[in-house]
Structure 1
Amino acid sequence: MRLRVEFTTEPFDLDEPPPHAVAAREVVQGAGLDAVDVGPFGNTVEGGADAVLTALDALLRASLRSGATRVSLQVNVVPGAAEGGGG
């Protein structure tokens, strides 16, 4: 199974990325996922279910530890996609 996740961390800071956003970005960029797109208002990652779920656990822990007061997630199964990225 392949998963696509969209996530945001809050509170927002438009002047510079807050520590919780940097922590989340570092987790997903280092997780070996198939696709990672980070931006100022939302982030998307995709990969095999095991890899994505492992990365989400690390992302939540790192973001909350770094000052996030809210983390919003949307998890979707990618229909008909070939398995990849450890899952």
Structure 2
Amino acid sequence: MRLRVEFTTEPFDLDEAPAHAVVAREVIGAAPLDAVDVGPFGNTAEGGAEVVLAAVDALLRRTIDAGATRISFQVNVIAEGER
């Protein structure tokens, strides 16, 4: 099974990336995910279910430790043949 995760971390700072946003990019960049897209207002990644779920776990733990006060997720199951 493949999953697509979309997430944001808060609080926002448009002048400089907060520590929790930097950590989120590091976690996602280090995971063996496919189709990673990191942006200022949202991030998307996809991959096998176990890889995505492990990345989500690490992302939650590390971004909270880095000062995130809110983390929003949306996780979708990708139908076979869909990209």
CA distance in 2, matches of 1:15, 1:66: 18
Point out where structure 1 has 5 or more consecutive residues left out of the alignment: 83-87
Structure 2 runs not aligned, ≥5 long = none
Aligned residues: 82
| Per-residue Cα deviation, 1:28-71 (whole angstroms, up to 9, x for no partner) | 00001012110000000100000000000000001000000000
Q: Could you tell me the percent identity over the aligned residues?
A: 71
| Runs of 4+ off more than 6 Å | none
- Give the alignment's TM-score, normalised by structure 1: 0.91
In structure 1, C-alpha distance between the alignment counterparts of 2:37 and 2:72, rounded to whole Å: 16
Q: Contact between 1:2 and 1:77, CA under 8 Å: does it hold in 2? A: yes
Aligned CA-pair RMSD: 1.1
